[in-house]
């Protein structure tokens, strides 16, 4: 599942410019480069894979890092639901405490 090839993803976030109803866009996840690039204001996410607590190796159960869109930036963290293969978590903007919902799902 986490081999080196790029993977299509649907990225949905809530809050900010997306409001309460959310906004979904497509992106490309580059597992080896630890980067996700998406089609919204030159959006990129740089991240580190995270392993299940207590594990030193194996399949990661999520990832976290920083995001940037034009002049905006912040942090995010998502964990994978193994049955649905959907990554869910939060994002926040630099300088702000409020966290907003974030979902990343492989394209079908």
Buried b (16+ CB within 10 A) or exposed e, 26-50: ebebebeeebbebeeeebebebeeb
Please, what are the domains in the chain? 7-106 (2.40.128.120)
Question: Residue 5, exposed/middle/buried by CB under 10 A (0-12, 13-18, 19+)?
Answer: exposed
Residue 90's pLDDT band, with cuts at 50, 70 and 90, is very high
Query: Is residue 3's pLDDT more than 90?
Result: no
Q: What is the pLDDT of residues 92-108, one digit of tens each?
A: 999 999 999 999 999 98
Rounded to two decimals, the pTM is: 0.83
């Amino acid at each position: 599942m986490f081999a080196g090839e790029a993977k299509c993803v649907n990225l949905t976030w809530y809050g900010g410019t997306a409001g309460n109803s959310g906004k979904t866009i497509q992106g490309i996840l580059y597992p080896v480069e630890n980067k996700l690039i998406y089609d919204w204001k030159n959006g990129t996410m740089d991240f580190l894979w995270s392993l299940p607590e207590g594990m030193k190796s194996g399949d990661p159960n999520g990832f976290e890092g920083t995001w940037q869109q034009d002049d905006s930036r912040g942090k995010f963290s998502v964990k994978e639901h193994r049955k649905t293969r959907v990554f869910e978590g939060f994002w926040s903007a630099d300088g702000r405490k409020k966290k907003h919902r974030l979902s990343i799902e492989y394209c079908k």
